């Protein structure tokens, strides 16, 4: 007997992560509705899906009520880079809080299972390293990053309260730095910034002394983790870290990208923005135990694919004639 196709909603589906997730959900046979207001998402990310009969797009802000039938909801709607979420911090908070309430109400009404894309930013500038899910974080509630950090923390609160109070089927994952094709060239994230600057032979800008560390997960690995989590034991609701535990300094990343692009970029240093975390590395012991998941893409391989993507975006081939 053929299993019926799932009706799946992806908020933020035209964004970097959302578009990759939509692609994978369609590939497994779902009917996917992408909900996006295109404030940071791009039609280019989903153009190849638009003629698929199992894909639909609704141009809408998640702060507005949505009425659809659904079996699964993936709530990814929110600007994810500091440049984007600090551009309109009040809207960022609304998206995290009102958007979460709207999607949770929809899940409650339809009986859908709902995934929340939370973030490593809930740990703030951590005093525990690597970060484990039982760590409550060290977050500034009134800083320039608070609209995102505290917004995501509040969204987690809402998800767990809807689970406790209403029995909504939830899954909450804390996503660490992710990179790959379809990142926005001007999103302000360290990987895209460095690659774009290097490909244009501009000096690479490092904020601070470059000794701060990050851990970078390639996008296909992350999507594997999300789907394993959603398809796994319903009793395991998280939160669970999804990310790559291999840690690298920002300065080492810049030097690696310089070598891989073969450009002539130098490195310049500027003041570190407020509340920028000094170290960021996930413990993924829980994901390994509960999901059997861990990243498999080496940083060099992921960077090579990402560099190739940005080279195509920045220097598209000339058409015939």
3-state SS, 55-81, equals EEEEECCCCCCCCCCCCEEEECCCCCC
Give me the CATH code for the 7-178+217-245+282-296 domain, please: 3.40.50.720
Q: Is 74 a catalytic residue?
A: no
pLDDT number for residue 3? 66
For the chain, which residues make up each domain, given as ranges? 7-178+217-245+282-296
- Strands, DSSP E only, in the chain? 7-11, 31-36, 55-59, 72-75, 113-119, 170-175, 178-179, 204-207, 213-215, 217-218, 240-242, 247-249, 267-270
DSSP 8-class letter at 131: B
Q: How many CB atoms lie within 10 A of CB 240?
A: 24
- Whether residue 81 is preceded by a cis peptide bond, meaning omega within 30 degrees of 0, is no
Task: Report how far residue 114's alpha carbon sits from residue 111's, in angstroms, rounded to the nearest whole number.
Answer: 9
C-beta of residue 310 within 8 angstroms of C-beta of residue 196: yes
Spatial CB neighbours of 174, under 8 Å, sequence gap ≥ 6: 118, 119, 120, 122, 123, 133, 238, 239, 240, 241, 242, 243, 282
Is residue 78 a contact partner of residue 151, using CB atoms and an 8 Å limit? yes
Catalytic-labelled residue, pool 148, 162, 179, 218: 148
- Round to whole Å and give the CA distance between 220 and 54: 21
pLDDT tens, N- to C-terminus, the chain (321 residues): 556 789 999 999 999 999 999 999 999 999 999 999 999 999 999 999 999 999 999 999 999 999 999 999 999 999 887 888 888 999 999 999 999 999 999 999 999 999 999 999 999 999 999 999 999 999 999 999 999 999 999 999 999 999 999 999 999 999 999 999 999 988 888 999 999 999 999 999 998 899 999 999 999 999 999 999 999 999 999 999 999 999 999 999 999 999 999 988 999 998 877 767 788 899 999 999 999 999 999 999 999 999 999 999 999 887 654
Count, residues in the chain: 321
């Amino acid at each position: 007997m053929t299993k019926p196709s799932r009706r799946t909603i992806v908020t933020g589906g035209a964004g970097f992560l959302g578009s990759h997730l939509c692609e994978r959900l369609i590939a497994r046979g779902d009917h996917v509705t992408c909900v996006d207001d295109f404030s940071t998402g791009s039609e280019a990310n989903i153009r190849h899906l638009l003629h698929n009969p199992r894909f639909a797009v609704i141009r809408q802000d998640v702060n507005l009520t949505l009425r659809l039938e659904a079996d699964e909801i993936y709530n990814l709607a929110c600007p994810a880079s500091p440049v984007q979420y600090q551009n309109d911090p009040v809207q960022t908070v609304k998206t995290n809080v009102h958007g979460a309430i709207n999607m949770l109400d929809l899940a409650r009404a339809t009986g859908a299972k709902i995934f929340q894309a939370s973030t490593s930013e809930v740990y703030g500038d951590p005093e525990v390293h690597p970060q484990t899910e039982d760590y409550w974080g060290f977050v500034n509630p009134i800083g320039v990053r608070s609209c995102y950090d505290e917004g995501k923390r509040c969204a987690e609160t809402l998800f767990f309260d809807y689970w406790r109070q209403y029995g909504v089927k939830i899954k909450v994952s804390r996503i660490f730095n992710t990179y790959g094709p379809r990142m926005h060239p001007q999103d302000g994230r360290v990987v895209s910034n460095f690659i774009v600057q290097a490909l244009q032979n501009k000096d690479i800008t490092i904020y601070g002394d470059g000794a701060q560390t990050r851990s970078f997960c390639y996008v296909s690995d992350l999507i594997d983790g999300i789907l394993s989590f959603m398809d796994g034991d319903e009793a395991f609701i998280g939160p669970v870290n999804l990310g790559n535990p291999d840690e690298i300094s920002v300065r080492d990343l810049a030097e690696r990208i310089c070598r891989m692009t073969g450009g002539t970029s130098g490195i310049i240093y500027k003041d570190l923005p407020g509340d920028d975390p000094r170290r960021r590395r996930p413990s993924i012991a829980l994901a390994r135990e509960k999901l059997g998941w861990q990243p498999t893409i080496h940083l060099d391989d992921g960077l090579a694919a990402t560099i190739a993507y940005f080279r195509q975006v920045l220097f598209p081939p000339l058409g015939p004639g």
